Amino acid sequence: MPKPSDTLWDIAKAEVEKKENLEGNGDGVEVWEKSLLFMGNKNGGKTTIILRCLDRDEIPKPTLALEYTFGRRAKGHNRPKDIAHFWELGGGTSLLDLIRIPITNDNIRTFAIILVLDLSKPNELWPTMDSLLQVTRSHVDKIITKLGKTNPKVATEIKQRMWNNMPKDHPDHELIDPFPIPLVIIGSKYDIFHFTSKSEALLLKARVLINHLAFGFDRSKSVSVDQNKPLFIPAGLDSLNQIGPPPASDSDIGKLHAHTPVDLWKKIYEKTFPPKSTSDLKDVNDPAQDPQYAEYEVDAMRAQKNQELEQYKRNASKSWKEMEFES
């Protein structure tokens, strides 16, 4: 307990020493601390997945910007609880600039991305994935490049770690360009395509995978590559040969100018599901009008300021008209 005479510095110092004692208590016990960023389609189910992983029985609310929460887990008795930081980006692709806030130089080695794509909106799926992953990768690459100048060992470790997840004899080795940090892609709302809901079983699989990334629990060893069932494919356990060619005739494929297999799949996909532009996917709602964020005093002050602004505009308009008349 802090003493009444303790300064803020004394309290902070004591907290740091307490944490160091927990991390190095002679038993080889370390506090695990990870960070995860959830992103994807608006209303795609990101909040539901987070709440399920954290055992929180709450009704999901729309995420309008960048929200944060955390969870704690202990892997055994008499062990310190590990900490996981959960970030969620709302608004689909309308708030891409916020991606750089949670991903920093300090946590890049313990960060993972969870991309949740709404399977019930196939026309939005590919452009959403493209926009989010491109911006995220660009930001992560900049961090790693900067680290390479100050701490090349760490930068090399990050790059090598992603290759370590791939079998050395993978048939597509030359075509692979791994995402620089752990990435999980979840197709949400799969149960919509079935007469009987399988969402609980699928949520459980997602929870096991995310708990592995967040708290270091054992990962699921199941693999499913049957296109007639929900896919569950760990990194490196699939190949272009197993996937097969895109569902199009040879003549159609010959007309497409694609430089890579992924580019070819993208063109075939977009021909079947014409994409919406990223500007169409932007959220145009005003968060200030959302009832879930209502605060009487703040809203009253905002209304007053809006009235003052309108009055200022009217006065300014009159003055300009008078000046024009006098001239």
Q: Which pLDDT score, from 0 to 100, does residue 148 have? A: 92
Structural domain harbouring 181: 30-240
Query: Could you identify the residue written with the tokens 């002679």?
Result: 26
Residue 210 within any structural domain of the chain: yes
Q: 296 in a domain, yes or no?
A: no
Instruction: Quote the number of domains for the chain.
Output: 1
How much is the average pLDDT of 23-52? Answer: 77
pLDDT score at 5:
62
* pLDDT tens for each residue of 239-269: 998 888 888 887 777 778 888 888 999 999 9
Q: How high is the pLDDT of residue 99?
A: 93
- Which of 171-175, 225-229, 275-279 is the least confident region? 275-279
Question: Which residue has tokens 């709602």?
Answer: 285
For the four alpha carbons of 48, 50, 52 and 54, in that order, the dihedral sign comes to: negative
Residue 203's CATH number:
3.40.50
Residue 87's pLDDT band (cuts 50, 70, 90): very high
Question: pLDDT tier at 279 (50, 70, 90 boundaries)?
Answer: low
Residue 73 lies in a domain: yes
| Alpha carbon 165 to its chain's center | 20
Domain presence at residue 15:
no
Q: Could you report the per-residue pLDDT of 3-32, keeping only the tens digit for each?
A: 566 667 666 666 666 555 544 444 444 557
Residue 74 counted as domain residue: yes
Please report, in angstroms and rounded to a whole number, the separation of the first and last CA atoms in the chain: 75
pLDDT computed for residue 25 by the predictor: 43
For position 255, what pLDDT does the model report?
Answer: 79
The phi and psi torsions of 38 (rounded to 5 degrees) equal -95, 130
211 within a domain of the structure (yes/no): yes
For residues 36 and 86, the answer to whether their CB atoms sit within 8 Å is yes
Q: pLDDT tens digits for 293-305?
A: 677 788 788 888 8
84 is a domain residue: yes
Domain membership of residue 56 (yes or no) is yes
Q: Is the pTM of this model over 0.85?
A: no
